[in-house]
Structure 1
Amino acid sequence: MQIICAGFPKTGTKSMAMALRELGYTVYDFEEHIDFHLDKFVDFMDGVTDSAELMEAYKDVDVCVDQPTCTMWHIFFKHYPNAKVILMERDSSEAWFTSYKKMIDYYMANYHVWYEDYLPLLSKTQATMNKMSQQCMIKSTGSSKNFWQLKHISKESWIYQYEMHNAAVKQLVPADQLLVFKVGEGWDRLCSFLDKPIPDKPFPRENVAGQAGNIVDQMQEFQTFKKVINEVRKSLFIAGSCLTLSVGIGVLAFVRPKIFSKVISLIKLW
């Protein structure tokens, strides 16, 4: 692990991930975290395991960025004390809050369904995802509910979590290993910090809150979310088959009670 990106969601995580890939690093972003190591993260968050197995899984990864690693940045830094840390910030706490809320509003307007809370009953992967999402919300906003369950948002609590997180990073990371960065700054300070040549192309600008093609749209193509869909379909097929069989047996018992009795007798003999 060479670089730990400690910036919260909506501080330019997707732009930073693309920039670091352009500079030649192997980057694990939110997609890789959940597609490859979802169970390991949740086991650690639930206190089932310590961090050793999770850290071992990242030993050949150059960069980690976005949730859940950004809120676990200090765990990674303890295991990789020579890594450089990049803390991405917005122009203000208000700007960060507004952008984060826009992302959630976009999800609620375009993807939320009324039966979302029941999906874990049909998909083990969704149940695990819900656990991780809840932990991420606790660490980044102070809310113990998943984002689609929020009836009221405490702006003060969200901003408190953001400001305390950033203050902790600035306090705990040695100055020569820390870059506090705003994505709008471009390549110069980033490349100087990493001792890399400046690419001959504009700095990436990805995942603009509230615009089509953002991370909420992209998530629908993640392998984890496709797995959830397949598990839900399989569960519904099994439930439907069982229901059809039950109805068929009930109809048989009502219409042909003698045949039904013979079938039951044969089953008992078998």
Structure 2
Amino acid sequence: MKIICAGFWKTGTKSLAEALTILGYKVYDYDYQLFEFPDLWNKLFDGEITDDKIREELKNVDALIDGPVIAFWEDISRAFPESKVILTTRDENKWFNSLIGMMNKTPAIFKYFYPLMILTPTGRKFLGTGSRVWSYCLGDDNWNFELEQLDGKDIPDIPYPHKNKEGAHFAAEGGPQHPKFRQLMLELMFLLGIFASIISYIFYILYIYICT
């Protein structure tokens, strides 16, 4: 573990993740954290994990960013004292408006049928940890951060990336990249198809009953 990003959602985390990726780091965003290390986060919530176990779980990760690490960056920093911590910040009003804007652009299948995720095998894993993180953390871009040169990395002569502008994470950037997130969407669509078929059948039976 080389870099721990402690900034909240919507403080430039997608842009920072892209910048670190360009520099050659293996970056784990929120979707990869949730799907790859669910036991780690749940054990951290429950206080049932040691620093040695944290090091074992995250030994192949260069950088963590966004949730769930924002809830446990101090624990992870203690386990990896040599790692650098980057804190991204933003004006709180702009942060809130940006968060609401991103939520409004969430795909309809997740926005309106969110509770159905618990009925899918992939959704149960995602919700189990994701809900705990969300509840724990929420009890012109004016964000800033310090990004010092790390491990001899050369800073490329290109503009700093600007990702997820105005909630583009889902709309234009493809959303979460972990394959299991796409699997989750397929499972939800399959489940909705089943419900639609059942409802259609019920209406058909009622129509036959009424007409006869």
Report the counterpart of residue 118 of structure 1 in structure 2: 116
Q: Distance in 1 between the 2:58 and 2:32 partners? A: 11
Which is worse superposed, 29-38 or 73-82? 29-38
Q: Distance in 2 between the 1:89 and 1:65 partners? A: 13
Report the counterpart of residue 98 of structure 2 in structure 1: 99
Give the conservation status (yes or no) of the 8 Å contact 1:191–1:198. no
Give the conservation status (yes or no) of the 8 Å contact 1:34–1:224. no
Aligned pairs for 1:2-151 within 5 A: 2-45=2-45, 47=46, 49-51=48-50, 52-90=52-90, 92-107=91-106, 110-112=108-110, 114-120=112-118, 122-142=119-139
State the secondary structure of the residue aligned to 1:88: coil
More helix by share: 1
1:182 counterpart (132, 140, 144): 144
Give the conservation status (yes or no) of the 8 Å contact 1:41–1:54. no
Change (3 A) 1:87 1:128: same
State the secondary structure of the residue aligned to 1:61: coil
Report the counterpart of residue 210 of structure 1 in structure 2: 167
Letter in 1 for 2:101: K
Q: Give how far 1:107 is off.
A: 1.4
Q: Distance in 1 between the 2:20 and 2:79 partners? A: 21
- In the alignment, structure 2 segments of 5+ residues that lack a partner are 198-212
Q: What is the TM-score when the length of structure 1 is the normalising length?
A: 0.60
| TM-superposition CA deviations, 1:199-242 (whole Å, max 9, x none) | 1111111111334325xx413x53222332455548987xx9xx
Q: Distance in 2 between the 1:103 and 1:182 partners? A: 20
Task: Please report the RMSD computed on the Cα atoms of aligned residues, expressed in angstroms.
Answer: 3.0
The structure whose RCO (Cα within 8 Å, separation 6+) is larger is 2
Change (3 A) 1:62 1:70: same
Q: Distance in 2 between the 1:73 and 1:138 partners? A: 16
Task: Report sequence identity in percent.
Answer: 29
Q: Distance in 2 between the 1:112 and 1:236 partners? A: 15
Give the conservation status (yes or no) of the 8 Å contact 1:35–1:223. no
Q: Distance in 2 between the 1:44 and 1:228 partners? A: 25
Report the counterpart of residue 196 of structure 1 in structure 2: 153
Aligned pairs for 1:243-254 within 5 A: none
Change (3 A) 1:234 1:84: same
State the secondary structure of the residue aligned to 1:4: strand
Q: Give how far 1:61 is off.
A: 1.4
Q: What is the TM-score when the length of structure 2 is the normalising length?
A: 0.75
Aligned length in residues = 190
